[in-house]
Chains A and B, each alone.
Chain A
């Protein structure tokens, strides 16, 4: 009974304050979209880093079947060449610059590739044979990349030496900058949302002061009096959060998944499914912001 009563109170409150409720929904929608966009950018950065990014800096790719590089004229790498490269890496002349290194076989390369590009159709057309084996090197000082490059580029069986960090770092710094901007805008919008929710609840409490006055007099508990107002704000904010989640999902699904992955098939994009982990975060964030701001407002403007 009390629940039904509270629900009907919420319904009448939402109806009476419709335009304010709509503005709360829109403001939380926009602010949480920016929060979510920042989250998505970070997820995208992680996706692009792949398996090796945080572990090593330099990769020495070995010749495989179809390699066209000059060092690979003699065909794919032989076990002897691989052995001598391994020995060279362990020799004191090189070993002083590196922390450790790992060999990635074709099979392992395929596995890591599959993980990184799991959202992309490209994964179906790639076989382990097409991927080069490689040595992955963790440098003591990443700045000393040149030494490794010079030592190994000319070795037989080496296709190319790549400093992966340098390739991606620029892009990542742009994306990190973008997510900072998104967080900044989100912070301002969240302040707007909090103030707007507070104003809405204040108006709502004012327009229903007759009811709340009577509720007080007949001995309604604090919860029964306050809950409809708080839930009013929370419901509006949760609707905004749901809209923001839907927008982010749509961006991941239609823009990244269908457009960008066609345009840049060699880049790993996040899938629309991955954005779903943002949904509970956004809803909890929106709901708790609204709950706290309406609770604080009620404390000042609604006597119980």
Chain B
């Protein structure tokens, strides 16, 4: 569904690249976490998928299409196939829940009857039945994020990109959101989620792609937030300080599934 071939993105010639020769493939229907410190290239990754930026070199394929070859007037069509969710929800404050979700359908010219049928259905999927007429400020953060997710998936995109969707939410609410994303994933949508939230990653046991300074340093299936690979020394030290994990002397290679030792919560 998403394939990066040797992708490098340089914002500033003098600085190090934001992404450095990244090779990555995310299959249709997969659920992948993108983890890494701030500045590691997670957001750049998402921006390249959306064609908000051009890769400096290498090729980005979305749904089999090289995004560099999509002409500017067809970019909207690419974006219709991709839903996006942000940390700050980005709802329209003067529209109610129904109108916020319907907005995504109106702007691409869906008919009123289709909107009337689809929106309640999607709101039900994200668990917001009966709240159609609430205004965003009347909702909790978790509910607002559910509205944002509903808006992102209402046009049935093949891919859902989530940029730290639980960054503003407490752990319980976050788990609820993850349930929604998981449900959407089980309906066949590819989900790529950039996050810092280790609890969630550890709980979900999905594929984890870790970026550091623009390089993929880990790509494991059913993995945990932190790995035992020695290169992530710094993040491990932080973990040690918080006392949540026991350090584990140098272990396994990338991509292997047997990296759980000692990192269990």
Contacts and interface: CB of A to CB of B under 8 A. Distances in A.
Interface of A: 1-2, 5, 210-211, 213-222, 224-225
Given A213-B90, A214-B90, A220 B107 contact: yes
Contacts of B106: 1-2, 5
Contacts of A213: 90
B107 A1 contact: no
Nearest to B100: A214
Given A218-B80, A221-B73, 19 more contacts: A1-B106, A1-B110, A1-B111, A2-B109, A5-B106, A5-B109, A211-B92, A214-B90, A214-B151, A217-B84, A218-B79, A218-B83, A218-B104, A219-B78, A219-B81, A219-B82, A219-B108, A220-B107, A224-B108
| B-side interface size class | 20 to 34
18 contacts: A1-B109, A210-B90, A210-B92, A211-B103, A213-B90, A214-B92, A214-B103, A214-B104, A217-B50, A218-B79, A218-B107, A218-B155, A219-B80, A219-B82, A219-B155, A220-B107, A224-B108, A225-B107
A224 B107 contact: yes
Nearest to A210: B92
B128 to A, nearest CB: 18
Given A1-B112, A217-B84, A222 B73 contact: yes
Contacts of A214: 90, 92, 103-104, 151
B158 to A, nearest CB: 12
B167 interface: no
A16 B111 CA distance: 26
B76 A222 contact: yes
B77 interface: yes
A221 B76 contact: yes
Contact of A215 (B73, B82, B84, B107): B107
Interface in B147-204: 151-152, 155
Q: Which of A214, A216, A218, A222 gathers most chain B CB within 10 Å? A: A218
A221 B151 CA distance: 17
A222 B107 CA distance: 10
Contact of A220 (B50, B76, B84): B76
DSSP majority for the A interface? helix
Interface of B: 50, 73, 76-84, 90, 92, 103-104, 106-112, 151-152, 155
Q: Top 9 closest A-B pairs, CB basis? A: A219-B80, A220-B107, A219-B79, A2-B109, A218-B104, A219-B76, A5-B106, A215-B107, A221-B76
A218 B78 contact: no
Nearest to A5: B106
Contacts of B103: 211, 214, 218
Nearest to A213: B90
B92 A220 contact: no
Q: Which of A214, A219, A224 gathers most chain B CB within 10 Å? A: A219
A206 to B, nearest CB: 16
Contacts of B155: 218-219
A217 B79 contact: yes
A224 B76 CA distance: 11
B70 to A, nearest CB: 12
A224 B110 CA distance: 13
Nearest to A1: B111
